[in-house]
């Protein structure tokens, strides 16, 4: 009985020491796992935001084109064009003229 008690006490101490080692190992592996998840989440979020930005730019250009076509159709049909549309069209035309004109040389 005395021997079995010593063995069980020694086993308990060994188990306790092993569990401490394993806990630190588990904590380390959990931290590595959590860090990996966080990196993956950030990378996926960046990819999603880039894709959304690309979709936004594509849709923006498509909507601008639809607006230009609608204005052309309104003119073709002889409908009145709002002052806001004429103002926006003048801005776009001024921008395109600035891009097309050659830049002045600086002396």
Structure tokens at 55: 């979709």
User: What is the number of alpha carbons within 13 Å of residue 64 lying toward its C-beta?
Assistant: 9
Could you report the per-residue pLDDT of 37-96, keeping only the tens digit for each? 889 999 999 999 999 999 999 999 999 899 889 988 988 998 888 888 889 888 888 887
Q: List b or e across 64-92, with b for residues whose CB sees 16 or more CB atoms inside 10 angstroms.
A: eeeeeeebeeeeeeeeeeeeeeeeeeeee
Instruction: Report angle CA 91, 51, 41 to the nearest 5 degrees.
Output: 140
90 vs 3: CA distance, rounded Å: 100
pLDDT computed for residue 22 by the predictor = 57
Instruction: Please spell the DSSP secondary structure of 65-90, one letter per residue.
Output: HHHHHHHHHHHHHT----HHHHHHHH
Give the DSSP letter of residue 107.
-
Could you report the per-residue pLDDT of 20-54, keeping only the tens digit for each? 555 566 677 878 888 888 899 999 999 999 999 99
């Amino acid at each position: 009985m005395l021997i079995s008690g010593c063995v069980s006490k020694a086993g308990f101490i060994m188990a306790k020491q092993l569990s401490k080692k394993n806990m630190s190992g588990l904590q380390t592996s959990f931290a590595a796992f959590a860090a990996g998840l966080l990196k993956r989440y950030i990378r996926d979020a960046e990819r999603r935001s880039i894709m959304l930005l690309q979709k936004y730019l594509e849709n923006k250009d498509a909507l601008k084109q639809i607006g230009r076509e609608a204005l052309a159709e309104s003119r073709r049909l002889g409908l009145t064009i709002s002052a806001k549309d004429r103002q926006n069209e003048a801005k776009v035309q001024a921008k395109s003229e600035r891009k097309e004109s050659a830049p002045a040389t600086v002396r």
